[in-house]
Amino acid sequence: MSRLLPAPDALVGRRIDVAVSKMLGISRAKASELVASGQVRSLTREISKSSALMAGETLEVDLHDETPAPEPIADDMAVVYEDDDVVVVDKPVGVAAHASVGWTGPTVLGSLLERGVRITSYGAPGRQGIVSRLDVGTSGLMLVCKSELAYKEMRRQFAEHEVVKTYHAIAQGNLREDRATIEAPIGRAKVSDFRFTVTPAGKEAITHWDVMERFGEATLVSVNLETGRTHQIRVHFSSIGHPLVGDPMYGANPQLSEALGLDRQWLHAMRLEFRHPRTHVWTTVSSRYPADLQHALDTLRARAAARSRE
């Protein structure tokens, strides 16, 4: 039996073996074996396990076991806040918010349900309790509603931009200003169904950023969003000539990504601030950098220090 896997936008630019492992929920070693044995093919070109997955590409995979595998569970997904109304998780990279066509890896919703967490039935089928989500390739804090009261109130807070979402990101190059706002509408790019771009026909998008640390070749920034468009931070920084490090879809330098050991964009949902839906107490939840982003940051600091000594 063969299965067609359209390339999810969050995996575009990743190695084929990495992408297949995420899409099928199998180990990278097993995915490499499938590619090497010819059981994974692209419909448009010749590929190897180290080829980069392309936007709009479809992979054909030969599956000998016709029994669908159960959704893998994100065992490393930490719960950082939970009560009777909401649960906030620290989503690892490679975990989707919810199930979708072409995605067979772990999801936030599926992993919570598997752990026995009660989620409200409010929301679209397969997306119950979710009022805001993160891309598969972005790590960090994500809130899911457990009660009906929380779903209604948190949906309102997100819709009216009352929730403060703080991201940390590393933009390529040396940003000229210490702080600024990017206000530019975002819509789908004509060249791909998976990419977004700044376009007059797009929806309003507003991004505020402040410089935290400079490395010359890159800049660490704190980012707050007034709007929540798909790929907003990635698109906005690319639009001003400073794509996020590790983000080839939006123009990042692959040599720098390799030198930093990155195979995804340096972007993390660092802090979430909201008014509790039941108690109305202002609540703040914080995260820490995952290992791959911390390693890249440490490497940038070391490279900057070495240049200053030259």
Same domain for 174 and 52, yes or no, is: no
Same domain for 173 and 288, yes or no, is: yes
Last residue of a domain, one of 112, 137, 159: 159
Last residue of a domain, one of 144, 159, 174: 159
Q: Which residues pair with 208 in a beta bridge?
A: 181, 224
Six-digit token string for 67 = 């029994």
Same domain for 12 and 119, yes or no, is: no
Same domain for 242 and 272, yes or no, is: yes
Last residue of a domain, one of 139, 159, 179: 159
Same domain for 155 and 278, yes or no, is: no
Largest CA distance in the chain: 60
Cα gap 159→95, rounded to integer Å: 24
What one-character-per-residue DSSP string does 208-235 give?
A: EEEEEEE-SSEEEEEEEESS--TTHHHH
Same domain for 119 and 48, yes or no, is: no
The Cβ-side half-sphere exposure at 90, using a 13 Å CA radius, reads 14
Q: Is 5 helix (H, G, I), strand (E, B) or coil?
A: strand
The domain spanning residue 124 has which CATH number? 3.30.2350.10
Q: Is 90 helix (H, G, I), strand (E, B) or coil?
A: strand
Catalytic residue chosen out of the listed positions 9, 135, 247, 292? 135
pLDDT in tens, the chain (310 residues): 678 888 887 788 889 998 888 888 778 888 888 999 999 999 899 999 899 999 888 898 987 754 556 778 899 999 999 999 999 999 999 999 998 767 888 999 999 999 999 999 999 878 899 999 999 999 999 999 999 999 999 999 999 999 999 999 999 999 999 999 999 999 988 766 578 999 999 999 999 999 999 999 999 999 999 888 989 999 999 999 999 999 999 999 999 999 999 999 999 999 999 999 999 999 999 999 999 999 999 999 999 999 988 7
Q: Is 293 helix (H, G, I), strand (E, B) or coil?
A: helix
Same domain for 171 and 294, yes or no, is: yes
Please name the helix (run of DSSP H) or strand (run of DSSP E) that holds residue 6, with its range, or none: strand 2-6
Same domain for 137 and 259, yes or no, is: no
Same domain for 176 and 304, yes or no, is: yes
Please name the helix (run of DSSP H) or strand (run of DSSP E) that holds residue 81, with its range, or none: strand 78-82
Is 135 one of the annotated active-site residues of the chain?
A: yes
Cα gap 107→264, rounded to integer Å: 18
The 10 Å CB-count burial string (b at 16+, else e) for 274-293 is beebeeeeebebebebbebb
Q: What share of the chain is helix, strand, coil (3-state, %, to 5)?
A: 25, 30, 45
Cα gap 52→248, rounded to integer Å: 10
Same domain for 257 and 307, yes or no, is: yes
Cα gap 158→48, rounded to integer Å: 42
List the domain range (segments joined by +) for residue 108. 70-159
CA torsion, ordered 273, 169, 25, 58, to nearest 10 deg: 120
The domain spanning residue 25 has which CATH number? 3.10.290.10
Same domain for 56 and 77, yes or no, is: no
Count of structural domains, the chain:
3
Q: Which residue has the tokens 């993160």?
A: 134
Cα gap 4→234, rounded to integer Å: 28
State the pLDDT at residue 101.
Answer: 67
The full length of the chain comes to 310
Cα gap 249→165, rounded to integer Å: 24
Same domain for 143 and 230, yes or no, is: no
Phi-psi region of 94 (alpha: psi -120 to 50; beta: other; left: phi over 0): left
